[in-house]
Structure 1
Amino acid sequence: MDSKSLPPRREPLFPTIFYKTQFCERQAGLPAGLSLSSKVAIVTGSNAGLGFESARQLLALNLSHLILAVRSVEKGEAAAAKLRQSAPKAKIEVWKLDMCSYASIRAFAERVGKGLTRLDIALLNAGLVKPSFELVKETGHEESMQVNYLSSVLLSLLLLPHLRTKRASNNEPGKLTIVNSGLSLTGKLPLNPNKPEQPILKSFDDPEKFSNTTWYNTSKTLMHLFLWKLTEYVSADDVIVNIVDPGYVKGTESVSNMPKITALMAKSFAAVTGRTVETGASTYVDAVAVKGKESHGCFLTSWRIHP
């Protein structure tokens, strides 16, 4: 069954869901003989952490051409140098992509259109947790909502035509996977009773209502709603679109933007409960290289389809 058809989760508390998905699911192995030879993939936010590790794992499956889409080209080139050592036969490029800039996103998509004759996989991994409220000057929106939702939606819509038209000659569908989180199940809309006329998306730009955890969680909830609607317009025969939760992972840079006390608590919790970066990244690889049409429009958690 797909995510839309599954009944909603009935656990009264999120920790119960966390325990079941984090500790009771078992890592899915890769099919024998799986190869990404001749395929082209884009991985955003891939200079470190889960993005870098997922890129490494894709290259280990003989991926032929990898594009690291990163905000800092310098950091991207440093990451590419490491990857080239382990995958010397692959073509590895670093392309500039600033998820806080609509102009940068459009330029990136235009480069894809002009510079690539083939595109099989787009893994949108860039994400952000902000400790304090900050608006993006170019767009006027709060930064974490900008990166996690608004910019990811725009990039998805701009890449979909290329994934459809630049796919393999054997008509295998392209793959678009957007990184999500189990915390999406706890998202809440910050509606202001004093401003009932305020549009929902605009309400996230209100500094008086800001909460870094609520904003992050809800940005992931909104991606569920986007995916639900998107699949009414995109066929799995053209592009398979899904969202993936890697689980709680230790050793990533996600805590670097947290307040010191929160970061310390997060690191301590991760030390006890967290998955390794390698295990977390394997959920990405499963979503883009193993899962097929059955995952179209689905929320993947711990290598499984969930409601």
Structure 2
Amino acid sequence: MSASFNLGAPKESAGSLFLRSQFYASVQWPPSDTNLEGKVAIVTGSTGGLGLEASRQLLSFGLSGLIMAVRSTTKGEEAAAKFRAQYPRANIQVWPLEMESYDSIQAIVRRAETELPRLDIAILNAAMQTATFSIVRSTGHEKYIQVNYLSTMLLAILLLPVLKAKSPPGMPGRLTIVSSGTARGATITELKDAPILPAFDGKSRPWNPFSRYAISKLLAHLFVIDLVRYVSADDVIVNLVDPGLVKNTDLQRGAPLPLAAFFYCLKTIFGRRLPVGASTYVDAAVVKGKETHGCYVADWKISSFAAFVYTSDGEAIREQLWKETMVEFEFVGVESILSMLKK
């Protein structure tokens, strides 16, 4: 098991951890001599907020190639134009990525396989938050679960062989998946011994956008514990990173006014500055090493997973979730992909 798992359940409540994180955590900026010359990174959801700022920070350390994987290529090109003016030596490309579409996810991975001679870093930052229940037509799954969990995990799995093959010998690829501190307070005990993914797709379950977002992030905690059993830290270092609550992000874009107003006030009081939040991405994807493989990195250090992970219900749901997710991804030959990673 990873160092995060071995820490055991958090000894503080989720609320206490949140307050400690926002007000008492010490910022750890990347060392000034960090050098990313020659390296290539993919950052999803990089037209604004944390993804955009993390991209800027990577470029500031000499990153040679940046793939901005975005939903709106128009916005992506606008952001890329500014980066190209500021960092003219970097090769900056904008690739379309729709996280609601399995076809789009497969397409961007095929493009990485065929067009990139090198790939060192992937930061999976794209996520969504909305106040209304909705189903993604192409998959039949509820949107939070689809985008924040299923699509993100599919992209992670498909990128693992690419990162392994296209990172230089002796320099493991880096796969950093953006998490959230909200997962620390999430539970899904009512689903014990029942199908998990279908339960989230129906309106029969009470709908709460705050708890559903937290659950979508908790599922990633559960899944990554098993995922890293298939990939060596010598090939690809996989970790989860929590940026904390951050001001000026785009997560609530398109949300109804009351929800957007609530988060604006919350971030004004408690939020970290955008550069501080984005520095957690760079820390997890560049500065930290093999010790973080399979870990949840919060406040710039290896931290315990969500408390639910360590419960008997959590263990049972983790096992069931893995099985259901493998079935969901059968269409890409996921078991063969994971088996090949071990070789």
TM norm structure 2: 0.85
2:39 is matched with which residue? Answer: 39
2:329 is matched with which residue? Answer: none
Question: Secondary structure at 1:177's aligned position in 2?
Answer: strand
Q: What is the deviation of 1:189? A: 2.1
Question: Secondary structure at 2:5's aligned position in 1?
Answer: coil
2:107 is matched with which residue? Answer: 107
1:244 is matched with which residue? Answer: 241
1:231 is matched with which residue? Answer: 228
- Cα deviation digits, residues 123-175 of structure 1 (max 9, x gap): 00001112101111111111111110000010001000010011114x21000
1:5 is matched with which residue? Answer: 6
Partners in 1 of 2:195 and 2:204 — Cα distance?
16
Query: Is 2:190 the partner of 1:215?
Result: no
Once structures 1 and 2 are overlaid, which stretch shifts more, 269-278 or 149-158?
Answer: 269-278
Q: What is the deviation of 1:190? A: 7.6
Partners in 1 of 2:132 and 2:256 — Cα distance?
9
Change (3 A) 1:224 1:55: same
1:15 is matched with which residue? Answer: 15
Partners in 1 of 2:51 and 2:189 — Cα distance?
30
1:285 is matched with which residue? Answer: 282
- Cα deviation digits, residues 101-141 of structure 1 (max 9, x gap): 00110111111111111110000000111210111111111
Change (3 A) 1:304 1:197: closer
Partners in 1 of 2:299 and 2:84 — Cα distance?
29
2:123 is matched with which residue? Answer: 123
Percent of counterpart pairs with the same letter?
47
Question: Superposed, which structure 2 residues align to 1:57-76 within 5 Å?
Answer: 57-76=57-76
Say which of 252, 264, 269 aligns to 2:266. 269
1:201 is aligned with what amino acid?
L
Question: Superposed, which structure 2 residues align to 1:73-112 within 5 Å?
Answer: 73-112=73-112
Partners in 2 of 1:70 and 1:204 — Cα distance?
26
1:143 is matched with which residue? Answer: 143
Say which of 198, 201, 207 aligns to 1:205. 201
Structure with greater helix percent: 2
Question: Secondary structure at 2:222's aligned position in 1?
Answer: helix
Query: Is 2:184 the partner of 1:188?
Result: no
Question: Secondary structure at 1:253's aligned position in 2?
Answer: coil
Judge conservation of contact 1:191–1:200 (CA < 8 Å) in 2: no
2:301 is matched with which residue? Answer: 304
Q: What is the deviation of 1:89? A: 0.7
Q: What is the deviation of 1:218? A: 0.5
Can you give the 5+ residue segments of structure 1 that lack an aligned partner in the other structure? none
Judge conservation of contact 1:73–1:96 (CA < 8 Å) in 2: yes
TM norm structure 1: 0.95
Please report the RMSD computed on the Cα atoms of aligned residues, expressed in angstroms.
Answer: 1.5
Q: What is the deviation of 1:259? A: 3.1
Once structures 1 and 2 are overlaid, which stretch shifts more, 175-184 or 210-219?
Answer: 210-219
Judge conservation of contact 1:240–1:293 (CA < 8 Å) in 2: yes
Q: What is the deviation of 1:232? A: 1.1
Partners in 2 of 1:20 and 1:258 — Cα distance?
28
Partners in 2 of 1:38 and 1:24 — Cα distance?
36
Change (3 A) 1:273 1:197: closer
Judge conservation of contact 2:131–2:259 (CA < 8 Å) in 1: no
Judge conservation of contact 1:190–1:203 (CA < 8 Å) in 2: no
1:29 is aligned with what amino acid?
W
Judge conservation of contact 1:40–1:120 (CA < 8 Å) in 2: yes
Q: What is the deviation of 1:256? A: 2.5
Q: What is the deviation of 1:215? A: 1.2
Question: Secondary structure at 1:3's aligned position in 2?
Answer: helix
Question: Secondary structure at 1:94's aligned position in 2?
Answer: strand
Change (3 A) 1:256 1:32: closer
1:162 is matched with which residue? Answer: 162
Judge conservation of contact 1:100–1:136 (CA < 8 Å) in 2: yes
Aligned residues: 302
Judge conservation of contact 1:242–1:295 (CA < 8 Å) in 2: yes
Partners in 1 of 2:144 and 2:82 — Cα distance?
29
Q: What is the deviation of 1:222? A: 0.6
Judge conservation of contact 1:190–1:204 (CA < 8 Å) in 2: no
| Runs of 4+ with deviation above 4 angstroms | none
Change (3 A) 1:198 1:7: closer
Partners in 1 of 2:228 and 2:252 — Cα distance?
33
Partners in 2 of 1:76 and 1:31 — Cα distance?
28
